[in-house]
Amino acid sequence: AQSVTQLDSQVPVFEEAPVELRCNYSSSVSVYLFWYVQYPNQGLQLLLKYLSGSTLVKGINGFEAEFNKSQTSFHLRKPSVHISDTAEYFCAVNQRGFKTIFGAGTRLFVKA
Amino acid sequence: NAGVTQTPKFRVLKTGQSMTLLCAQDMNHEYMYWYRQDPGMGLRLIHYSVGEGTTAKGEVPDGYNVSRLKKQNFLLGLESAAPSQTSVYFCASSYVPSGSGGADTQYFGPGTRLTVL
């Protein structure tokens, strides 16, 4: 069975600092990987996704993630965060089916 | 193009009451999903549908029923609400291109905050 572990429940960071949100998954077969963002009082929206090909995936708002098959990880990074990046971030895995499994989420707090 | 809309946005129920949450999408997506979001647990799939007239159980289906009579609508029903069903409910829809093997970007509604007293 597939599962997703987000290693940090909360990540505080100062504005303009770099940030990494960690995600590990477990699956016995090839998967598709996603990062979604949820701003306060809103639904989730897609940041980026990995389907195949290049292991470095670029998304919206300057975020990128790297797929590491040997470490079964899909960490999200941004070189310089803004106050507006304060949100909850969800890593998700789809094992080529109709159901996507979401991690528990990481709350990113960007401080001035 | 409204995307995915949910009705109502907020609701307070007493234990034992029933209600229906409505989800509508105008993107002609085949697949629709109902999730619940609880603190520290992420999103958990309640039920889903891969097309009009079809539904299937997800991870936490007990206490909920669903119907997909029209392609654009996906209803979630609570027959006898319990305090454990206090949560934020999200509907989502997706389009899975043929040959993609199931890789789907899900589009989410704004959520319904339900409190059961």
Residues from chain B that touch A98, judged by Cβ atoms under 8 A, are 31, 48, 50, 56, 96, 102, 104
Whether B69 has its CB under 8 Å from any CB of chain A: the answer is no
A89 touches chain B (CB under 8 A): no
Contact A49 B4 (CB under 8 A): no
Residue A22 half-sphere exposure, CB side, CA atoms within 13 Å? Answer: 9
**Which pLDDT does position A54 carry in this prediction?**
87
Measuring CA to CA, which residue among B14, B4, B2 is closest to residue B86?
B14
Inspect the interface and report whether the beta carbons of B106 and A46 lie closer than 8 Å: yes
* CA atoms of A79 and A85, how far apart (whole Å): 12
How many helices (H) and strands (E) are present in chain B, helices listed first? 0, 11
Q: Which pLDDT score is estimated for A73? A: 94
B105 in contact with A at a CB cutoff of 8 Å? yes
DSSP 8-state code for residue A61: G
d(CA B106, CA B31): 9
Mutate one of B106, B107, B112, B113 to test the A interface: name it (highest A CB count within 10 A): B106
Exposed, middle or buried: residue B89 (CB in 10 Å: 0-12, 13-18, 19+)? buried
B2: contact with A, CB 8 A cutoff: no
Phi, psi of B103 (to 5 degrees): -75, 110
Please tell me the distance from the alpha carbon of residue A108 to that of residue A105, in angstroms, as a whole number. Answer: 10
Determine which helix (DSSP H) or strand (DSSP E) holds B108, and give its type and residue range. strand B106-108
Letter string b/e over residues B36-72, b meaning 16 or more CB atoms within 10 A of that residue's CB = bbeeeebbbbbbbbeeeeebeebebbeebebebeebe
Q: Which parts of chain B have pLDDT scores under 70?
A: 97-103
Are B111 and A42 a contacting pair at CB < 8 A?
yes
From the candidates A49, A100, A106, A107, which should be mutated to test the interface with B, based on the most B CB atoms within 10 A? A100
Residue A100's pLDDT is: 85
Q: What is the mean pLDDT of each run of 10 residues along chain A (112 residues)?
A: 89 97 87 92 92 90 94 96 96 80 94 95
Name the region of B84 (left: φ>0; alpha: ψ -120 to 50; beta: rest): alpha
pLDDT score at A3: 87
A40 touches chain B (CB under 8 A): no
Nearest CA in chain A to B47: A99
